Structure 1
Amino acid sequence: MHYDPQRLAPLVRALRRGDRRPVTLAADCCDRLDATEDDIDAFRPEAGQRDRLRREATALAARHDDPATRPALFGIPVGVKDIFHVDGYTTEAGSSLPPAAITGAESAAVARLRDAGALVFGKTRTTEFAHFDPPATRNPCGLGHTPGGSSSGSAAAVAAGTCPLALGTQTIGSVGRPAAFCGIVGFKPSYGRIPRDGVVPFAPSVDHVGTFTADVAGAAHAAEALCDGWTPVDPDERPVLGVVEGPYLEQATDAGRAGVDAAADALSAAGYDIRRVSMLDDIDAINERHRTLTAAEFALTHAEWYDEYGDRYAAESVALLERGEAVGVDELAAARAGRLDLRRRIGERIASSDVDLLLSPSAPGPAPAGIDDTGDPVMNLPWTHAGVPALSVPAGRVEGLPLGLQVVAPFGADESLVAWGEGIERAVEDIGSVAT
């Protein structure tokens, strides 16, 4: 079966003009779900989903019958990772805990999408509490491979063409890595740029809300609806791009490094100024600090739930909780402080290297075989720890599986990253097979 993602930007234009109707698009997405879900298993099952969407789409169209006043995401079906609270749904968070113990008020991100005219298509599968214990979701680009985690269902749903937009979260690498594995675009804005209210927390100091779309133009539409104070920009010049080198890059596989080199060559051929930037020499310490922080905050977040429902947690989550419980107050404070120090250092290194954006692999390599391991998030970790914005775009394939190029900007430069990202995306989209 061949899967084609739906592109958000042309759908937005067609729906707002009236060339497409929300009820028809919702029905088309349901048809796509029927055709793909046995293979992909991206969504939690929902009884009466098609009828619900028909009712909601019909009501939406009646409220906005004038094309001139239709909201930005009018009629767009959205997949929502099942750690976001959504009115009308329970929240299971990929766990065996009673939904009544977890479910809460609708998340701010979902509310913003609804205000922009979007329709909640369904809840997408996730690993337990966005940590591990993978669901049965498969990669649309290779059914024998993981789609990544923990935003497994959201990435797979967009890649399979079931919905044109999906919400995910990233605490280490759960937007950039699944986007890369599934051959789509993942955008993680600067820390806090999309509110996390109404999302089951993992480690609040580094939890980010992000999006999955087929392309960067779609990510821009979603960001405008979701991000605080989003102001689109139109840069006059191409950015200077810095390929990150050193111990951080050495964590990638040969395929991952070859993919970045191929992307850099394609960008250079397209007229971009490419430079090499040595940085993150202390990546081992950064990795350890982030893991300490996430374990400690996971233990704090889950203390009451674990006291009552400890026997329902997966072994991997129990191990993380136990590690987190052993972290002292001073160690946690130092780990939290390290975020701001790394953010400052990244900004200073970008400035001192005379580059605008940094390039690196979105994942160590292509999606691993099997669905019991969601892959290593290590290539995303430092950017998540620092809270800087990161964009993953498809850039080549290895043995038919997608590779992702991770593009990083200084903290707060989200609008420039997305604006420049469209040109970068065009320059690398025809790379094809990457030699390793």
Structure 2
Amino acid sequence: MKTPIMRLFVLIIFMVLQIIYVHGSHFQGGMVTWKYRDNQVYITYKVSFNNHHCDKMYILNRILVNGEGSLMCYRGCNDTLTRTLVTSLSYYCTEFSEDDNWTYGQRTLNVTFPSTSDNIYVFGYRSGSWATLVDGGGSWSLIATANLNIRQDIGRINSSPIAAMQPFVTVNKNCAMPYALRIPVQDEDGDVVRCRWATNSLTDECGGVCSIFRNSVLDQPNCILYINEIPSTGRYAVALQIEDFGEQQDKIALSSIPLQFIINVIDGTTMCDNKPRIETPVIEIPSNTMYHQTIIATSTGSQISDVYIVSPVGFIKSELLRYSSSNDSWYVNVTWTPTDEDIGIHIFCYTAIGVDRQASDQECKTLKIVDAEGCVSNPCSNGASCTQQINGYICKCDVGFTGIFCETDIGKLHQNVYNRQ
């Protein structure tokens, strides 16, 4: 016979187990990228969870969301033991959904790797478990590989490719197949980028979701996932590796980064042709200058309920507003003021969601943040043209002039030399 104290003890144990289960079973994908700057590696991790708190104030004020687990080095950091690179992967939330219960965010931290015989490093993020999936998900594993040797072709150390994908992609099982899901990728070094399925061979790239959703076809050179057959409703994980190559014919990747996300299959009742559509204006940005974009979504089948974004830290999204007097068009405004730390290439994506949970195709833009003190300040002299670079500018001199700023008249230079002789 159980006494009141025993019953209370059992209840406490049950509650603790429930807390542990909820806390450890809500991963919903992520990505790990890196770039090399000033003798350091800047690692950016992006993660998605449910049961993590985020709201507009968190995004506006850049409040850190408590992280879970550590970023570990599995090769190149120690001969015998793994090494912790980042403890407690807290992140800045950049988007969230109350309807579908997910948060998404990122953080960038700099790491100094020790020199080794080959300067190849494997690092990543492993733990358990995924949020509830139709199949698999007992553990997660996101693994990146970096080669920090100076490349012979470009004379500098490589940086990884980047990608962007909504953490939660909704697909209607009643729509015509195949469903093409394009993964936007870019590479700062101008390399060839390919996508492949993650494997659990040597480095365990995908934990408990390696073989999930393999009934789809992956167009590796173009990074397009063709879903030929929609399974039963529910949530499925997709685990990919994105790699860069110096030339089309190269077989050995310069680097490899993970991209994992969830496909949510629904039994939609509205016409597939009525899913929202995104209209995309084109805008360019220098650093330290506000970037603004209006994202307009239209749907003839149902009202737009939200526009989700995948963005760098610092993006601010307005409330969803009706576009003019239209009953089928809605919009949000987004703003971002990139700093000098943001100089480089970023991918910004957005998806419109209807009240019936149908989603538009994901639209993406490549944002190339360049040095604001470059061509904007008209540094080139004597009629030279200025070409903006990511980390500065290049002056193309007219005939008869030379120098970094084309400030030197070659004729006068020769005359001065002649006079001195």
Report the TM-score range of the alignment, normalised by the length of the smaller protein. under 0.3
Higher strand share: 2
TM-score, with structure 2 as normaliser: 0.23
Higher helix share: 1
Higher RCO (C-alpha under 8 Å, 6+ residues apart): 1
Which one has a bigger Cα radius of gyration? 2
TM-score, with structure 1 as normaliser: 0.23
